[in-house]
Amino acid sequence: MTALVKQLGIQDTTHPNDEYYLGKFIFGSKNGGEYSIHTRLEPNRLHNQLYYKVVGSSGDYGFGHHFISKRNTLGKRYRQQIFKQIIDKYNLSKYMGVKTFY
């Protein structure tokens, strides 16, 4: 995973835990306001295997963070909007056929 992150040129953060900054993305309802969210890749371990999860925050709202309460977690539609933008920005569609942990 780290090799793919480096190949894609994703910006390293100044955080000491090997986090990577994905960028600022926009989400919102069709006829409502638009909001921005800052996202990054955060390292985790599962069965002693390193993987990265996408986390993001926008004010009190976000996803993937342990400190964001369930009621302040962005809904499925907004997360889909954000993930679609990440996939497009980094041209990840060519990797989408590869099964990993899902």
User: Each residue of 34-72: pLDDT tens digit?
Assistant: 999 999 988 888 898 888 889 999 988 999 988 899 999
Residue 101 domain-assigned? no
Nearest CA among 3, 15, 9 for reference residue 89: 9
pLDDT at residue number 102: 45
Residue 100 domain-assigned? no
Whether 12 shows a pLDDT value over 70: the answer reads no
- Secondary structure, 3-state, 74-92: CCHHHHHHHHHHHHHHCCH
Whether 97 shows a pLDDT value over 50: the answer reads yes
Residue 102 domain-assigned? no
Nearest CA among 91, 80, 74 for reference residue 10: 91
Q: What is the pTM of this model?
A: 0.79
Three-class secondary structure of residue 94 per DSSP: helix
Report the domain count for the chain: 1
